[in-house]
Structure 1
Amino acid sequence: MSSIGKGDDDLSTKIQCDSQTPFKYTNPYCHRPNEYRPETITPAQNLLADHTVLLVNTYKECREAVIELNSQLKEYDVLGIDAEWKITWRKKSGRKPVALLQLASQYGLCILIRLCIIERIPAELDEILANPKILKVGIESRSDGVFLNKDYQMRVWSTLDLRYMAAMCGLRPGGLAAMAKDHLFYELSKNKRVQCSNWELEILSQRQIEYAALDAIIGYKLFLYYSSFQHCITYYTISCFYDKHFSHPKGMIMYEKSLSDQKTEQKQNE
């Protein structure tokens, strides 16, 4: 197991709760739109300095890394999740089995699990992914879970597509890079040559490693930001979208309604 970066620091169970209950993953220190905008956009690569990125190549390394990750989830049970695979035009699906699984926690640990080369899947990893109390957030996270189940028979419950959260907050849902730039003010490179590169290589390049790690890290960063909108995000509203594929028409309707509600509230406060 190699450390790439070092820092200092049935269906999923639905949470039944009154719709006015504040969502528990609040982040009061996060800025809001129109309240603060930096003069420059920060490169997302700067985030790697505050994270430990572990590239996992064996069963033993995977088990050790997942145990460490699980210990961090006792206080904050949310993971940024993403997956990479090799594109192929020889199959109807257009892809080979998932080669890399990325998981990132709030406490600075990001593990990159090379599913294409590890001997077998540790039970500890299965338990985290199948645990409905651990939220897995990202873009197309539901699809990633479906692919993991199809390729490795791994059950993945309580996934949440961040675009639903953005729409609920009155922020335009888009791709990961667009939302990172517009909502967090981070410039996330989405180089197609890296995105569509061979994720089954014996040795991944530094660019591949950074690309993969940042996708998961930005995922949970966006989650923290959207969670600070306590007037929009509640247990009830968010649990409705667990394990759902993102619907663009539905997301845009939510976005427009949230914007309208905010404008109405502003007029009432004037």
Structure 2
Amino acid sequence: MTQISNQKEESTVAPNTEAATSNRKTAWIGLGSILSVASLLAIILASLGYGISLAVEAEFGIPHATVFTSAFELLDLSSVAIMAIVNTGTTAVWSVDGFLKVASKIWMLAVFLFGVWALLLLSVRDWRWPVKKFTILRRDQTWLRTPTRGDSWKQFFQSFIWPTIGTFLGFAVLWLVWAAIFSAPVLLAALPSIGYGLGKAHIKEWIIGAETCVPFATREARQKPKPIPQKTLRSVDCVALTKEGKTIAEGLVVLATSSSIVLYNPITGAARRERTDGVSIEAVEGASWFESPPRP
């Protein structure tokens, strides 16, 4: 009896051990996948942030290497690129002209693909030899049957649609995998250039093209429903830096990281980078900056 009970205990312990080992392997694989995706996203964002620093150097002459001090600050700079992408995409898609352009392209592509599929159907319909069925497709004699010339159009369509969808999805996944493999190095190398273009567009539109500072509003004014303005001025954050009670710099915020800030003066056209250690940052309205035209 003792031997039988020991054998039962061993037989119950072994499956539990295998299940626990399998769960641990699955957990480690999942953790590794998450870390891999996070590392890839960090590289992409840091590359975009590096492009933003190059745009600041091109526009204002501040060396790009002084704009950031660590890779983490490149992640801060990437927020400028992300906002530029969001603004560009929102403007392009939700404007009437942009929506019509996107819809027309999608419609033309859909018509083209439908025509190709219809020609494929006609060519298969005229085959003189039936296609051999796979074993896994013999379960359903309506939707997964072999098309023949004696079928009606309804029967032929039913027997052809699911293999068509499956083939399309299979080729699409295969194409995406190959495209990702071959385009990933090129895309990673081009990311700083993309960030540079987005940074230039952001500076031109939202910094140099700003019309006013973000206005102050009291608590009561913030709680009231905002009326829809007839014309919206392009506003930007304006700040003043003070240290030991003295103002050391002020201007429009071009960008900011955890250790520094880049300011732009629209009257003189000068830009400067200031460290924020031990500095008080206060928002200002700075209406006088937009009353005088900038220097040519």
Please indicate, yes or no, whether the TM-score normalized by the shorter chain is above 0.5.
no
How does the TM-score come out when normalised to structure 1?
0.24
Higher strand share: 1
Higher helix share: 2
How does the TM-score come out when normalised to structure 2?
0.23
